[in-house]
Chains A and B, each alone.
Chain A
Amino acid sequence: SLDRFPLGEKRLMDVKLGELGSWLGKRDFTPNGVLASIRNGHDRYYNKYINVKKGGIGGVAMLLVGYVALSYMWEYDHLSEYRLWEYDDLRVPTTYSIIHLKAL
Chain B
Amino acid sequence: MGTLNSTLKFYMPVLTIVPTIKSACLPRLVQLSHLHTSPNSQAPVPALPEKGGKTRHGIIPEEIFQLLYPKTGVTGPYMLGAGLLTYILSKEIYIINHETFAAACMGTVIIYGVRKFGPDVAAFADKLNEEKVQKAQEVKDLAMTSLAQAVLDEKKEQWRAEGRQMLFDAKRNNVAMLLETNRRERVHMVTNEVKKRLDYQIALQTLHRRMEQEHMVNWVEKNVVTSITPQQEKTSIAKCITDLKVLAKVQQAKATVAI
- CB of A99 within 8 A of chain B? no
Residues of A within 8 A of B55 (CB): 49, 56-58, 61-62
B→A interface (CB under 8 Å):
1-2, 4-5, 8, 15, 48-55, 58-59, 61, 91-92, 94-99, 114, 118, 122, 126, 129
How far in angstroms is the closest Cβ of chain B from A87?
6
- The listed residue (B15, B52, B92, B118) touching A55 by CB distance below 8 A is B52
Q: Do B8 and A52 have beta carbons less than 8 Å apart?
A: no
Q: Which residue among A59, A85, A103 has the maximum number of chain B CB atoms within 10 Å of its CB?
A: A59
Q: Do A48 and B95 have beta carbons less than 8 Å apart?
A: no
Residues of A within 8 A of B94 (CB): 72
Q: Given contacts A62-B55, A62-B61, A83-B92, is CB(A52)–CB(B50) below 8 Å?
A: yes
Q: Which residue among A49, A50, A85 has the maximum number of chain B CB atoms within 10 Å of its CB?
A: A50
Q: Do A84 and B51 have beta carbons less than 8 Å apart?
A: no
Q: Do B53 and A104 have beta carbons less than 8 Å apart?
A: no
Considering the chains assembled together, what is the distance between the CA atoms of A55 and B58 in angstroms?
Answer: 11
Q: Do A46 and B59 have beta carbons less than 8 Å apart?
A: no
Chain B residue at minimal CB-CB distance from A85: B92
Q: Given contacts A58-B58, A60-B1, A60-B4, is CB(A53)–CB(B92) below 8 Å?
A: no
Q: Do B59 and A61 have beta carbons less than 8 Å apart?
A: yes
Q: Given contacts A39-B15, A60-B1, A62-B55, is CB(A54)–CB(B50) below 8 Å?
A: yes
Q: Do A87 and B51 have beta carbons less than 8 Å apart?
A: no
- CB of A20 within 8 A of chain B? no
Give the interface size class of chain A: 20 to 34
Q: Do B92 and A101 have beta carbons less than 8 Å apart?
A: no
Residues of A within 8 A of B15 (CB): 39
- CB of A82 within 8 A of chain B? yes
Q: Do A54 and B122 have beta carbons less than 8 Å apart?
A: yes
- CB of A97 within 8 A of chain B? no
Residues of B within 8 A of A58 (CB): 52-55, 58-59, 61
- Name the interface residues of A61-93: CB closer than 8 Å to any CB of B: 61-62, 65, 72, 79-80, 82-85, 87
Residues of B within 8 A of A48 (CB): 52-53
Considering the chains assembled together, what is the distance between the CA atoms of A101 and B126 in angstroms?
Answer: 47
Q: Given contacts A58-B55, A101-B98, is CB(A53)–CB(B4) below 8 Å?
A: no
- The listed residue (A49, A87, A104) touching B98 by CB distance below 8 A is A104
Residues of A within 8 A of B126 (CB): 54
- The listed residue (A51, A57, A101) touching B58 by CB distance below 8 A is A57
Q: Given contacts A54-B2, A55-B2, A61-B58, is CB(A49)–CB(B53) below 8 Å?
A: yes
